[in-house]
Structure 1
Amino acid sequence: ALQANGWINFRMRAMLVSIASYHLWLHWPGPAQQLARWFTDYEPGIHYPQVQMQAGVTGINIPRMYNPVKQSQDQDPRGEFIRRWLPELEGVPDDWIHTPWLMGGARQRAAGLRLGETYPLPVRDHEQAAREARAKLTAWKRAYVEREESRRVFVKHGSRARQPNRKRRNNAPAAPVAPATGQGELF
């Protein structure tokens, strides 16, 4: 669809970058450059920050790991988009259109589908890939981000350097005292 039209909606763009970044561990500039070549509405000032945000490298957004099956089920429940752009899945029943790789051999044959021949096998198990990505990001955050943030806060707010003695020194003059007026002031 993207190659044919030069355009896909924002959710699909985000999902493509998410899958490339978290499921396949591709460094974001490669997919960003490829998408830039295909998008007819490519504008670098919008495109690259959006790709970086979806790839989780801006440092201000939580990682957005899209589940492609869930997105497909939510956004294309009857598989109309899938069947239009993947004609090899045209004969797949609605119950299997979002997960044709889970169909048994007899169902595949009935649908005219031969996984690995007429339609590719999944590159990765998306659920396992997302679990691994979350684990890697959590480990990195614990090892680096939290340590660096702790160090930054400590340096700024928690220095253990000896503070100067704030008591009045013997040779320092006493603070001036206001003269009493004898009229019962409290202070």
Structure 2
Amino acid sequence: MRSLLATGWLHFRGRAMLVAFASYHLWLHWRPLALHLAQCFVDYEPGIHYPQIQMQAGTTGINPNRMYNPVKQSQQKDTDGAFIRQWLPELRQVPTSWLHSPWLMPITLQQRYGCVIGQHYPAPIVDLQHAQQQARAKLSQWLQQHDRLNWQQQKQAVVERHASRKRPAPHQTLPAKDQLSFDW
């Protein structure tokens, strides 16, 4: 969020993880989140923004729910911690081995590196694993309460009607690749 607020931009994976974390781990409704992010993004375009937010929040019914683990994503996408150190100066002295989860450092190391959790850097607001398990349980319960087969049929109908990779109808033929022409 510090990077986004300072620059107005976040790469796609960061946006996806941000929305997924807010939606599943924090169980926040997607609409206020979408409005807030719309005001943050310099490349805000409603026709792209809202479908992407809804997809990542799991409200479209087409895509599977993507519950990213921010620690795992951080370890994979920022292995040396350059992004973290740039945007979280209070963590600059923390060794890379602890950088992605500094709250797990023993207090003696927190003191040595000048990053006492709860004092210099906030403690986690949720337990990642527990919050994700709760979100999966809530979604599973919702699917059980609603006709899962009917839900799958509705999902398929939406895909068939709106998916961007629709196959041409049997009576339609597409021109060969070398026969395509464009008037630019």
Q: TM-score per shorter chain, which class?
A: 0.7 to 0.9
Cα distance, 1:117 vs. partner?
Answer: 1.2
- Superposed CA RMSD in Å reads 1.6
Cα distance, 1:151 vs. partner?
Answer: 10
* Residue 54 (structure 1) aligned to one of 53, 56, 63: 56
- Asked if 1:68 corresponds to 2:78, the answer is no
Query: How high is the sequence identity, in percent, across the aligned residues?
Result: 56
Please give the per-residue CA displacement for 1:18-46, whole angstroms capped at 9, x wherever unaligned: 00000001000111111110100000000
Cα distance, 1:78 vs. partner?
Answer: 0.7
2:22 aligned partner? 20
Please give the per-residue CA displacement for 1:43-63, whole angstroms capped at 9, x wherever unaligned: 000000000000000011110
Structure whose CA Rg is larger? 1
Q: Which amino acid aligns with 2:143?
A: K
Closer, same or farther in 2 for the Cα pair 1:149/1:93, shift >3 Å?
closer
Following TM superposition, where does structure 1 have runs of at least 4 consecutive aligned residues deviating by more than 6 angstroms?
none
Paired residues, number: 152
* Residue 121 (structure 2) aligned to one of 90, 101, 119: 119
* Residue 92 (structure 1) aligned to one of 77, 91, 94: 94
Q: In 1, Cα distance between the equivalents of 2:147 and 2:32? A: 25
Q: What are the equivalent positions in structure 2 for 1:1-187 lying under 5 Å apart?
A: 1-146=3-148, 148-149=150-151
Closer, same or farther in 2 for the Cα pair 1:116/1:147, shift >3 Å?
same
SS in 2 for 1:134: helix
Please give the per-residue CA displacement for 1:55-111, whole angstroms capped at 9, x wherever unaligned: 000011110000000000000001110000000001101100000000010000011
Q: In 2, Cα distance between the equivalents of 1:149 and 1:11? A: 28
Give 1 or 2: higher helix fraction.
2
Instruction: Tell me the TM-score normalised to structure 1 length.
Output: 0.78
SS in 2 for 1:127: helix
Closer, same or farther in 2 for the Cα pair 1:30/1:145, shift >3 Å?
farther
Closer, same or farther in 2 for the Cα pair 1:145/1:110, shift >3 Å?
farther
Closer, same or farther in 2 for the Cα pair 1:48/1:108, shift >3 Å?
same
Q: Which amino acid aligns with 2:133?
A: R
Unaligned runs of 5+ in 1: 153-187
Q: In 1, Cα distance between the equivalents of 2:95 and 2:8? A: 29
Cα distance, 1:145 vs. partner?
Answer: 3.8
Q: Highest relative contact order (Cα 8 Å, sep 6+), 1 or 2?
A: 2
